[in-house]
Amino acid sequence: MTNINKQQLDTEPWYKQFWPWFIMALPMAAVIASISTLVIAIKNPDYLVIKKSEQQSISAEMRPAKKTGLSTASPKPEQPD
């Protein structure tokens, strides 16, 4: 008789019960949190932090060389005979 009463009480579809939604809510929350973290990371990228002196040397290297007619290549060393 107890089995009949349980079957009669459990006639609701699964989507109207609490536990399936509770179990699915935890992975859904993790997916939503990871997507929001990805969006934040894409919208706010980290920039390279360098010292002021390094920045000046990098910008000096990036400037085009002045045309003085001198070659920037080092001379070949003389080979002894």
pLDDT in tens, 17-73: 999 999 999 999 999 999 999 999 999 988 776 677 777 777 777 777 666 655 555
Backbone angles phi, psi at 42, to 5 degrees: -75, -40
> What's the pLDDT score for residue 10?
67
> What's the pLDDT score for residue 61?
72
Burial 29-49 (b: 16+ CB within 10 A, else e): eeeeeeeeeeeeeeeeeeeee
- Give 72's contacts (C-beta < 8 A, 6+ positions apart): 65
Q: How far is CA 42 from CA 28, 45, 46, 73, in A?
A: 21, 6, 9, 43
pTM for this structure? 0.46
Provide the token pair at 66.
Answer: 């002045």
